Amino acid sequence: MPVHTPYWWEEAPRPEVPKQPVAGNCDVAVVGAGYAGLGAGLELVRKGRSVQVFDKGVAGGGGSSRSGGITSGNLRISFSKMISTLGLERAKAYYSEAIEARDDLAQFIASEKIDCQHQPVGRFTAATRPKHYETLAREAEALNRHFDLGAGVVPRSGQHAEIGSDMYHGGVVRPDIAGVHPALLHQGMLDTALKAGVGVHAHTGVSDIRREGNRFELATSRGVISAGNVIVCTNGYTDGAVPWLRKRIVPVPSMIIATEPISRKLMDRLCPKRRMLGDTNRVHHYFRPSPDGTRILFGGRAAGNLQVDGPVAHDHLRQKMVRIFPDLADVGLSHVWWGYVAMNLDHLPQLVVRDGVCYATGFCGSGVVWARWFGRKAALKILGDPAGASAFEGQPFSAIPFYNGNPWFVPAAVAWFKFLDRFGL
């Protein structure tokens, strides 16, 4: 039977942060100790501010230690579509920032000497339909023309050099995308933040944020504190403490299964270049070899419902994996886990200041790059540093009609998207 905790936690168990006293006053309070919250905290202490980061659970117990670790820095709206809907200038600004953010993460990992198995191996996105291959090829051509990314198309006839599967119709390689061990990345950020003087308080939930004159009062499970500024980095784990955000963010469960170790020969066949992998379905799958190249980690929607804890959910995902890689039919699973990604109506990351509170959120399943980037941007905004500006500011961040935080409609939406995928619509 597989264990129901992330494979990543074997090597990087969730840290118990040494309990420190909660200070009654600080310059900045940050809610959420994932990549975004730690990215914000680190920037602020290094610029001389006193910072306390609060997390209702273990530090990094949210998306940041559960992900696939693919540094996609993805935007859900393709570059070509953005050009036609928003114009070339906006589309270029958004995509340039994605490239900058991805590079910045790699530089951060190197400069802070974070040993998180950063592997710049590239990503192969496989086309589930012939027409998707055409779309991928056009997108690659547009990206190369404007950004010189070196994206390369691979026809179906050559795809075995990228993936040991006959399910696809070719695909595209993006050499600029890498893999990391997400929990080691979080651990490295946490160690760096604690060393720099960020006050990180795990198991300390924030239940209310209230403006009092030109400061804020936060009700925490360890007392009320006063802060000059507040940054909210709760993403897919947003709760009633921030009702404004809750109406804008839908927590969608995403699940990953890890296989038992497979032979090197089999891995050579399935993932000859050890790249990050994904497909073009709306309800898409993302998968990769483990950093040591011994297992396949395969992620996607569990089943079309919110019940992610039972065997039905991971069996469903396993069947999908075996359809892609029949060679894995007899290979057992070692780990099964899931977490929430945060989707929003506008499908773009958000950096928003509202009633004096700064929000960094809406990473739509691509926060390995975006979360730290926007946490840091939020910090720079508070510091009044022009580097806090982002192309993503000022865009709509719409409330979802008739939604108060109970995502009852997710199963129906997933089922609808699966239907569209099934019939290639």
Ligand X SMILES: Cc1cc2nc3c(=O)[nH]c(=O)nc-3n(C[C@H](O)[C@H](O)[C@H](O)COP(=O)(O)OP(=O)(O)OC[C@H]3O[C@@H](n4cnc5c(N)ncnc54)[C@H](O)[C@@H]3O)c2cc1C
Residues that bind ligand X (CB under 6 A): 31-37, 54-57, 61-64, 66-70, 72, 205-206, 233-239, 241, 254, 256, 286, 299, 338-341, 363, 365-369, 371
Closest-CA residue to 46 (of 377, 379, 360) = 379
> Minimum CB separation from ligand X for residue 186, in Å?
8
Residue among 137 and 199 whose Cβ is closer to ligand X: 199
> Minimum CB separation from ligand X for residue 368, in Å?
3
State the angle between helix axes of 88-111 and 79-86 in degrees (0 to 180), rounded to the nearest 10.
140
Residue among 128 and 254 whose Cβ is closer to ligand X: 254
State the angle between helix axes of 79-86 and 130-147 in degrees (0 to 180), rounded to the nearest 10.
70
Residue among 234 and 344 whose Cβ is closer to ligand X: 234
State the angle between helix axes of 35-46 and 182-196 in degrees (0 to 180), rounded to the nearest 10.
30
**C-beta of residue 146 within 8 angstroms of C-beta of residue 99:** no
Query: What do you get for the CA distance between the two ends of the chain, in Å?
Result: 37
> Minimum CB separation from ligand X for residue 394, in Å?
20
Residue among 159 and 366 whose Cβ is closer to ligand X: 366
Residue among 159 and 234 whose Cβ is closer to ligand X: 234
Distance between CA atoms of residues 236 and 249, nearest Å:
7
> Minimum CB separation from ligand X for residue 220, in Å?
8
* CA 101 centroid distance within chain: 13
In degrees and rounded to multiples of 5, residue 379 shows phi and psi of: -60, -45
> Minimum CB separation from ligand X for residue 89, in Å?
26
> Minimum CB separation from ligand X for residue 399, in Å?
19
Cα Rg, the chain, nearest whole Å: 21
Distance between CA atoms of residues 393 and 341, nearest Å:
21
Distance between CA atoms of residues 316 and 302, nearest Å:
7
Residue among 101 and 137 whose Cβ is closer to ligand X: 101
> Minimum CB separation from ligand X for residue 133, in Å?
23
Residue among 36 and 283 whose Cβ is closer to ligand X: 36
Residue among 49 and 376 whose Cβ is closer to ligand X: 376
> Minimum CB separation from ligand X for residue 254, in Å?
4
Lookup: tokens for 280: 């073009």
> Minimum CB separation from ligand X for residue 250, in Å?
13
Distance between CA atoms of residues 425 and 419, nearest Å:
8
In terms of C-beta density within 10 A (0-12 exposed, 13-18 middle, 19 or more buried), how is residue 234 classed? buried
Which residues, including other chains, have CB under 8 Å from residue 161's CB and lie 6 or more apart? 154, 272, 273
Report which residue's Cβ sits closest to ligand X.
Answer: 367
| CA distances from residue 9 to 65, 135, 221, 401 in whole angstroms, order as listed | 8, 37, 26, 38
Residue among 68 and 388 whose Cβ is closer to ligand X: 68
